[in-house]
Amino acid sequence: MRFANHVFQTAKGADQGGGGFSVGSLRSKLTGYRHQELFLRIAQSPTESIFDLLHTRNTGLSSDEVKERQLRFGLNEIAHDRVRWQSQLRRALVNPFNILLAVLASVSFATGDIKGTITLAAMVVISVSLTFIQEFRSSRAAESLKKMVQTRATVLRRLGHFHSEQGTEWVNRKAEIPIEEIVPGDVILLSAGDMVPADVRLLNSKDLFVSQSAMTGESVPVEKTANSESASVRDALHLTNICFMGTNVVSGTATAAVIKTGGDTFLGSIAKSVAGVRVQTSFDKGVHRITWLMIRFMLVMAPFVFLVNGVTKGDWTEAFMFAVAVAVGLVPEMLPMIVTVNLAKGAMSMFRKKVIVKRLNSIQNFGAMNMLCTDKTGTLTQDKIVLEKYLDVSGAPNDRVLKYAYLNSYYQTGLKNLLDVAVLNHRELSKELEIDRVYRKLDEIPFDFTRKRMSVVVEKSNGRHILICKGALEEMLKVCGRAEVGNEIVAIPDLPVERFQKIAQDLNDDGLRVVAVAYKDVEAGQRKEYSVIDEGDLILLGYIAFLDPPKESASQAIKKLNEHGVAVKVLTGDNDRVTRKVARDVGLPADDILLGSQIDDLTDEGLDNVVEKTSVFAKLTPAQKERIVRSLHRLHHVVGFLGDGINDAPALKAADVGISVENAVDIAKESADIILLEKSLLVLEEGVIEGRKVFGNIIKYIKMGASSNFGNMFSMLGASALFPFLPMQPVQLLTQNLLYDISQTAIPFDDVDAQYLEKPRKWEIGEIRRFMVFFGPISSLFDYVTFALMWFFFKSQTPATESLFQSGWFVEGLLSQTLIVHMIRTRRIPFIQSRASWPLILMTASVMAVGILVPFSDYGKGIGLEPLPLSYFPWLVLILLCYCVMTQLMKNWFVRKYGYN
């Protein structure tokens, strides 16, 4: 459900001070929604008339009706950032490099230079083909990964009918379908953790609370009911019986009829404004700043070269064309393609390691992450919860406690967690209790994270009504006035409550999670609905205790993450004793655990003072988890959050990189940037390393391009001022630039030194600028050595011999620029201590060979080059060897002084 992910990323950026689409402007667009009157009419209509208005029925649509409506209304999709191949081709065509080539081709054609025209046209084709093919393949790969994370919805569908004495009767069933297949008129079922897949009208609901923060900015969930709305409400956002696409169910259950889908929804009506207005991540900002740094150099350089050549040589047209060629050479036109291919390749590599990247630019944040906050269950533990014990209040085994717990879990329709699954694994109880014959469910009071309990009300065949409640012991004691001790019901004030708590604490110290079970008889009558207020004066029956053993791999994974500079913190809603036991088992310091109640007593500044020193946080609410993440942000950490529940959604959105798992609830998957196919810290650690590899390869291109371009500035300025001819013709300069760019297309496939992967890597613009200023003049120095060689040794001193001079610098300049990637790709000695990948070696060697051959070819002759004498090549080898040695020596000094990012 990519639409919701986009909304969440927009909200995430706005929360963190970024730009993007504000909640205020979103709300103003919603209030002007063209279907507002329709919504008001449906909201004010009685529930029974909704089916006529939407041409549906309470049993849902048939398959034929669904197909018909899909043809009419289309798929339930709205605008998002998918890039079509036509747009990619247009972007590949329209860039400064190709525009200049087209201008030069037109000039060549106008002057009758057919060979030059063909050459330039061929360069355009090569440039466009390279960029388009690579970006197209990358975007297809990214899209295929996104489709693997699919959000589904539960609908009622008609399967067929049969005839009986009562007439035609329909056979219906619940169906789990991709949300894209939902159509207007569908009847859907909602429960805690679900995303609302379309704009819907509630038909019935039970304690339904919906988070509309993505739509309205309100942090508190809103209660929704199926009651008809009064005519006084004129703002669709305030309608209590309407739920909107992109919001999510926090607690409760409901049945609803779909009103609008896709682009006709509230969210769809503003999709064109939202699509493409994605908030810039630190990665985007880093690339943006580097690009503009290079462009600023170009804006200074190009006019100066134009003036110098115009004044010294008198040919202003030629000077202008040369200045424009210089400008194009200095613009990092391949940077977008290099970045895109790097990210896409990284995403595919991460997929092979069981990690799906939903948003490509989050890969860099993944690699830069130095603080991982994670839930306990399933990450540090095996996620295979087993019901170990069922005890009465005295701590003795008691089958009745298990039976009441089973009835509670069996009749629960909300979000079933792993504890419920463990209880329901005792399938023999269904037969023993004769559930279908003896019991009938009357009502349910759903779970929420404030009460931390849930209840069902059942009727026995003898007419007895029983409310059965289970939940966290602390919360249950608040609503229990009595306890069952043996065969007696005793008032809790008359009992040693500390004894109850001691039993639970002992179980916790053994690593068992404890849930209390209570009940009470309720008066049988005409009453149909029960609420939280009925959870009072309960009789505490006993406890059920669950074991979720630590993963054998957790300790190893935490150690590896620490070795790679990632600190692990546990943020859990579980109690401190169980959490302490598990944390110690996996090697985390757990002597000082910070509880949610303690966090509430701290100011933001107070939390900042303790959050770094604390590794384990327990008894947390969703808001407290989010607050911890924001505190780490304020301390300048790059924070990742791993979670899979409803209570994790706020923290997932607040984190720099939200991480969830394939089987997480909808809201957690939609809030996340990265999805793990296996909930394991080992898988996560492998993904972190891959993220750092991607960043490392992007930095290689940026450092290489920045230093080479900065060096070229000095070379161009000096050559323009010193010589009576152009140091290189515009078309020669463009050819050199194209070959150089081709040589770098293999960078995404390069290896990265293990030493570079040891710690998180972030954008350090100052370090890149320092690297550029330091290494750029080195390449320029050897350009001047080449100038001297061609001028003094080969006597290329007049316009008549300029082609020899240009050929000499063309080859030396291309080879030195191509070799630099091998020098700066590692802090070690290249080719000896660290060798590039074979794709990069073969690509750079091929381009160097082509560069040497160009002056000897007809193509070289066509662009004004001439064959170089054999005596040139020993000098070339000596110049390149000295260049590599000097670059390595200076790099060693640079690393010792400034480090290596």
Give the DSSP H/E element, type plus range, for residue 657.
strand 657-661
Q: Which two tokens stand for residue 497?
A: 């409550």
Alpha-carbon gap, residue 423 to 517, rounded angstroms: 12
Task: Answer whether 455's CB lies under 8 Å from 412's CB.
Answer: no
For residues 704-743, b (16+ Cβ closer than 10 Å) or e, as one string?
Answer: bbbbbbbbbbbbbbbbbeebebbbbbbbbbbbbbbbbbbb
β-pairing verdict for 453-460 and 386-392: unpaired
Enumerate the active-site residues.
375
Alpha-carbon gap, residue 459 to 440, rounded angstroms: 5
DSSP string, 670-725: HH-SEEESS--HHHHHHHHHHHHHHHHHHHHHHHHHHHHHHHHHHHHHHHHHH-SS
β-pairing verdict for 567-571 and 371-374: parallel
Half-sphere exposure of 794 (CA within 13 A, CB side): 25
Task: Answer whether 449's CB lies under 8 Å from 665's CB.
Answer: no
Give the DSSP H/E element, type plus range, for residue 485.
strand 480-485
Q: Which two tokens stand for residue 244?
A: 């909107």
Task: Answer whether 666's CB lies under 8 Å from 248's CB.
Answer: yes
Task: Answer whether 708's CB lies under 8 Å from 298's CB.
Answer: no
Alpha-carbon gap, residue 188 to 259, rounded angstroms: 11
Q: How many other CB atoms sit within 10 Å of the CB of residue 383? A: 17
Long-range contacts of 470-474 (CB under 8 A, 24+ apart): 470/404, 470/405, 470/408, 470/409, 470/515, 470/516, 470/517, 470/518, 470/544, 471/447, 471/515, 471/516, 472/515, 472/516, 472/575, 473/500, 473/501, 473/504, 473/514, 473/515, 473/516, 473/543
